[in-house]
């Protein structure tokens, strides 16, 4: 067991799977020789050769479309979209092709591929390097959608995703690539190297899709979140001194409804937190599910803390990013009732 | 396995540690290609799409039919072109420095490619619209765009006409013929064609100009734009800036087994020429020709500008990881500023001393503006835009749900 950054953990997952399964191939813009702009695939081409790890033209629809062709022919492509913001040209291929092929062919064909994409803000990336498009995928039957918050999960979930028989959208919170982030951009950056959740076993293991993780146990209120916001929630809870339970969803589709319901029944209060815009966001879906299953256990209206319904700004990034203060206010609001 | 079938992968001629190698490039002598008729058809552009229009020879003389066609008698025009390029480079160098000092988040420079934007701008008129990407700042500089605004945009402070919404170098300057730049590659190329169609439909005699990098020609929208331009024949110039690299990816990956990017247009029936983009005079000649062609109603045209990205892709990139360190020096088409300077000195319209003086004048101007702009806040000492501006301009009228979010934010 060694400490790894999330980038190293993701690379390790791909390394393990390239070694185990000759059908796994990795490709995308800059991922081959250079190892990707975030260096997630650094060294893999040297180790496995360019028939296994290669650069593509700047054409996201080609990256996904080629992956579909390969996956339906029995390979296991794990492709990279350089930033989630650039998946739109591939959106048709992802949502109407990859997601549908199993169903529309009555299982004559299937499409076991992984589409990795860095997501979220907090890096001064402006409008086109900061988006959180998960709701655009969780709305699509046939896809699975995953987002890890720790290096351990990143590796285990990516291995499970590559092994999954269906297409998986693998969203990587880029603000967590190098270390956990509690939302305080003025504080010194933290590093996974010194963090217990940066511990990653060597070799093969997997973390099942569709299962949430309890990040912090608590009795007073449930905070349902994922990705970068897990650590923002943790910091807010500690500052507020409230005994909250924090659920890291890990899989956004399918959702671990059992884990969500069990926690909300226990605490009777609930906050849903994400960075993506509010309107028609995933929080709305989660709140509807909680409401359907736990209405009589609720002590207070469910709160949601999200990004605003505006494009991600460059200069006003920290006004946009749902930080500790907004989470604390929501905690106070649910606890007051 | 018994199969003989194998894939091929494109490789650059040299990687870090290797000697830079441009020996496989075919660089014709300056002055060899004829000037084309304005109404030339694609099938008559095969040489021009596969070779290279060049005006300045190695000695710095302007030679051949394109030099005659340009017939540029006014040396002041060339001197101001030289100054535009020098200004562009000085801004790039100072801004890269400011980025390294943590004063701004990010920067994209155009070092080595100055001739393309600075030269092309000379033939544009009020009302023409460029649809640029992040590396065409030269168009704005040569258009006389106020430096306060240019730099304010980088620093995202009160000088920024875009209120801190966009990443540095993603400008928007309608009055200066500069369409709002998207971070998503290639999207603007189709908009240029649509804008040009609107010009034709509404009886305006202005033109539209699309800009795209060689790597981004791989994007769907490049092909969509060519197809649309081919179908409707609007007044649009489609530029491809071939600077050899798309971040770490060698240009051969986007080009595949195609010969040139210009030749791509021929398949769509669109005339195309390939031009030495480091030759300011060739840039002027080709720009003059292309703008005349489309203004005269002869329809779309594509220009491939053959150049080299000297600097890193962006302030986040380290090119020494994927190409030889001294590759830029080995680039056979030289440096656009040096080449124009050499020409002007040769024709007795410039001197080393005037060059040094011009450099210090431009530097002083840039420093003066930079100081003023930095005083309004940098990333180290932010005096940001009011928070409420985040919600302004999402829609023409602010809907109730956004008004509530504004209230929640407390602004
Ligand atoms: C649709 C899309 N995909 C990927 C990116 C990430 N990206 C930004 S610049 C770039 C390389 C562009 O290369 P090229 O078109 O040759 O232009 P250059 O930077 O060389 O001027 C890439 C891949 C993006 N901005 N948009």
Contact indicator for B148, B368 with CB cutoff of 8 Å: no
If you measure from the C-alpha of residue B48 to the centroid of ligand 1, how many angstroms do you get, rounded to a whole number? 27
Backbone angles phi, psi at B171, to 5 degrees: -80, 170
Q: Whose CA is nearest to atom 7 of ligand 1?
A: B185
How big is the CA angle at A40 (ends A38 and A42), to the nearest 5 degrees? 100
- Tokens representing B360? 């210090």
The backbone region for B239, taken as left when phi is positive above 0, alpha when psi lies in -120 to 50, beta otherwise, is beta
Nearest-CA residue of chain B relative to A320? B390
- B86 neighbors B359 (Cβ within 8 angstroms): yes
Q: What is the pLDDT of residue A1?
A: 85
- Diameter over CA atoms, chain B: 70
Q: Look at A29 and B221 and tell me if their CB atoms are within 8 Å.
A: no
If one residue of B117, B246, B314 were mutated to test the ligand 1 pocket, choosing by the most ligand atoms within 8 A of its CB, it would be B246
**B122 CA to centre of ligand 1 in angstroms:** 26
Question: What's the pLDDT band for A328 if we cut at 50, 70, 90?
Answer: very high
Pocket of ligand 1 (CB under 6 A): A 29, 58, 60, 82, 86, 89; B 135, 183-185, 213-216, 219, 243, 245-247, 309, 313
User: Tokens for A16?
Assistant: 């393990």
What whole-number distance in Å separates Cα of residue B60 and Cα of residue B83?
Answer: 18
Sequence-ordered alpha helix ranges (H) in B32-74? 46-50, 65-70
How would DSSP label each residue in A251-312?
EEES--HHHHHHHHHHHS-EEEEEEEESTT-HHHHHHHHHHHHHGGG-SS--EEEEE-SSPP
Contact A56 B253 (CB under 8 A): yes
**Beta carbon pairs, A and B, within 8 Å:** 121
Q: Which residue of A has its CA nearest to B317?
A: A37
The CA distance from A267 to B149, in Å, is: 53
Nearest to A315 among B7, B164, B186 (CB): B164
Alpha-carbon gap, residue B109 to B88, rounded angstroms: 9
From first to last of the 411 residues of chain B, give the pLDDT tens digit.
689 999 999 999 999 999 999 999 999 999 999 999 999 999 999 999 999 999 999 999 999 999 999 998 899 999 999 999 999 999 999 999 999 999 999 999 999 999 999 999 999 999 999 999 999 999 999 999 999 999 999 999 999 999 999 999 999 999 999 999 999 999 999 999 999 999 999 999 999 999 999 999 999 999 999 999 999 999 999 999 999 999 999 999 999 999 999 999 999 999 999 999 999 999 999 999 999 999 999 999 999 999 999 999 999 999 999 999 999 999 999 999 999 999 999 999 999 999 999 999 999 999 999 999 999 999 999 888 889 999 999 999 999 999 999 999 988
Measured CA to CA, the distance from residue B382 to residue B229 in angstroms comes to 45
Interface predicted TM-score of the whole assembly (ipTM), two decimals:
0.94
DSSP letters, B315-352, are TT--GGGTS-TTHHHH-TT--HHHHHHHHHHHTTS--H
Which conformational region is residue B320 in: left (phi greater than 0), alpha (psi within -120 to 50 degrees), or beta? alpha
Beta-carbon separation of A314 and B316 below 8 A: no
Closest chain A CA to residue B169: A126
For the record, the structure tokens of A215 come out as: 């990040």
What are the CA-CA distances from residue B32 to residues A101, A126, B48 (Å)?
55, 46, 10
Distance from CA of B39 to the nearest CA of A (A): 33
Alpha helices of B105-244 — where are they, by DSSP H? 114-120, 137-142, 147-155, 187-201, 220-232
Q: Please, what is the Cα angle at A302 between A298 and A304, to 5 degrees?
A: 160
Minimal Cα–Cα distance from B254 to chain A, Å?
Answer: 5
A58 vs B185, B316, B389: nearest CB: B185
All residues at 6 or more sequence positions from B372 whose CB lies less than 8 Å from its CB, including other chains: B148
> Catalytic: A215?
no
Instruction: State how far the Cα of B219 lies from the Cα of A61, in Å rounded to an integer.
Output: 8
DSSP state of A96: I
Substitution target from A61, A311, A315 for chain B, most B beta carbons within 10 A: A315
SS3 content of chain A, % helix, strand, coil (to 5): 40, 20, 40
- Across the interface, whether the CB atoms of A310 and B390 are under 8 A apart is answered yes
Q: Are B362 and B88 in contact (CB under 8 A)?
A: no
| Contact yes or no for A59 and B218 at CB 8 A | yes
Query: Region A68-84: what's the mean pLDDT?
Result: 98
């Amino acid at each position: 067991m060694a400490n790894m950054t999330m980038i190293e953990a993701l690379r390790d997952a791909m390394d393990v799977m390239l070694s185990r399964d000759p059908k796994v191939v990795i490709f995308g813009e800059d991922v081959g020789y250079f190892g990707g702009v975030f260096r997630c695939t650094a060294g893999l081409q040297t180790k496995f050769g360019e028939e296994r790890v290669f650069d593509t033209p700047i054409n996201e629809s080609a990256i996904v479309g080629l992956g579909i062709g390969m996956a339906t022919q029995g390979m296991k492509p794990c492709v990279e979209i350089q930033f989630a913001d650039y998946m739109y040209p591939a959106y048709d291929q992802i949502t109407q092709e990859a997601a549908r092929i199993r169903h529309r062919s009555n299982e004559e064909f299937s499409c076991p591929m992984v589409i990795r994409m860095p997501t979220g803000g907090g890096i001064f990336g402006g409008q086109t390097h900061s988006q959180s498009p998960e709701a655009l995928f969780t709305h699509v039957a046939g896809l699975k959608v995953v987002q890890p918050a720790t290096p351990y999960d990143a590796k285990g979930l990516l291995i499970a995703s590559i092994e999954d028989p269906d297409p998986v959208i693998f969203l990587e919170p880029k603000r967590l690539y190098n270390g956990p982030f509690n939302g305080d951009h003025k504080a010194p950056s933290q590093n996974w190297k010194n963090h217990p959740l940066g511990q990653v076993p060597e070799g093969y293991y997997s973390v099942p899709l569709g299962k949430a993780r309890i990040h912090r146990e608590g009795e007073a209120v449930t905070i349902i979140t994922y990705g970068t916001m897990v650590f923002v929630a943790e910091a807010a809870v500690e500052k507020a001194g409230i005994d909250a339970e924090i659920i890291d969803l890990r899989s956004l589709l399918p959702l671990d409804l059992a884990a969500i319901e069990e926690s909300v029944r226990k605490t009777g209060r609930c906050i849903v937190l994400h960075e993506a815009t509010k309107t028609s966001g995933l929080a709305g879906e989660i709140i509807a599910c909680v409401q359907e299953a736990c209405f009589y256990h609720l002590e207070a209206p469910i709160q949601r803390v999200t990004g605003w319904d505006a494009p991600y700004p460059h200069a006003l990034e920290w006004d946009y990013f749902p930080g500790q203060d907004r989470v604390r206010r929501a905690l106070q609001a649910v606890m007051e009732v | 396995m018994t199969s003989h079938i194998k894939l091929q992968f494109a490789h650059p001629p040299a990687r870090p540690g290797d000697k830079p190698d441009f020996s496989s490039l075919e660089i014709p002598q300056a002055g060899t290609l004829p000037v084309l008729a304005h109404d030339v058809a694609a099938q008559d552009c095969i040489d021009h799409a596969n070779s290279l229009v060049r005006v300045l020879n190695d000695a710095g003389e302007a030679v051949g039919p394109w030099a005659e066609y340009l017939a540029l008698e006014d040396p002041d025009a060339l001197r101001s072109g030289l100054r535009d390029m020098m200004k562009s480079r000085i801004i790039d160098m100072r801004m890269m420095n400011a980025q390294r000092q943590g004063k701004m988040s990010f920067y994209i420079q155009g070092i080595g490619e100055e001739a393309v934007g600075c030269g092309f701008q000379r033939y544009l008129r009020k009302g023409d619209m460029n649809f640029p990407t992040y590396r065409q700042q030269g168009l704005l500089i040569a258009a006389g765009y106020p430096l306060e605004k240019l730099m304010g945009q980088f620093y995202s402070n009160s000088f920024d006409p875009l209120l801190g919404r966009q990443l540095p170098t993603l400008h928007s300057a309608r009055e200066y013929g500069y369409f709002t730049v998207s971070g998503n590659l290639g999207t603007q190329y189709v908009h240029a064609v649509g804008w040009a169609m609107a010009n034709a439909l509404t009886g305006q005699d202005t033109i539209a100009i699309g800009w795209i990098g060689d790597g981004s020609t791989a994007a769907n929208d490049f092909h969509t734009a060519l197809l649309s331009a081919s179908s409707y024949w609007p007044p649009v110039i489609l530029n491809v800036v071939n600077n050899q690299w798309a971040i770490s990816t060698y240009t051969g990956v986007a080009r595949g087994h195609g010969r040139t990017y210009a030749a791509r247009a021929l398949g769509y029936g669109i005339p195309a020429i390939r031009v030495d983009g480091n030759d300011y005079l060739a840039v002027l000649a080709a720009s003059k020709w292309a703008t005349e062609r489309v203004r005269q109603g002869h329809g779309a045209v594509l220009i491939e500008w053959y150049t080299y990205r000297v600097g890193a892709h962006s302030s986040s990139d380290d090119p020494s990881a994927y190409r030889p360190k001294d590759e830029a020096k080995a680039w056979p088409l030289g440096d656009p500023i040096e080449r124009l300077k050499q020409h002007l000195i040769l024709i007795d319209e410039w001197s080393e001393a005037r060059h040094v003086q011009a450099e210090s004048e431009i530097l002083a101007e840039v420093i003066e503006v930079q100081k003023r702009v930095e005083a309004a806040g940098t990333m180290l000492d932010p005096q940001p835009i009011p928070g409420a501006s985040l919600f302004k301009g999402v829609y023409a009228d602010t809907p109730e749900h956004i008004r509530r979010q504004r209230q929640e934010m407390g602004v």
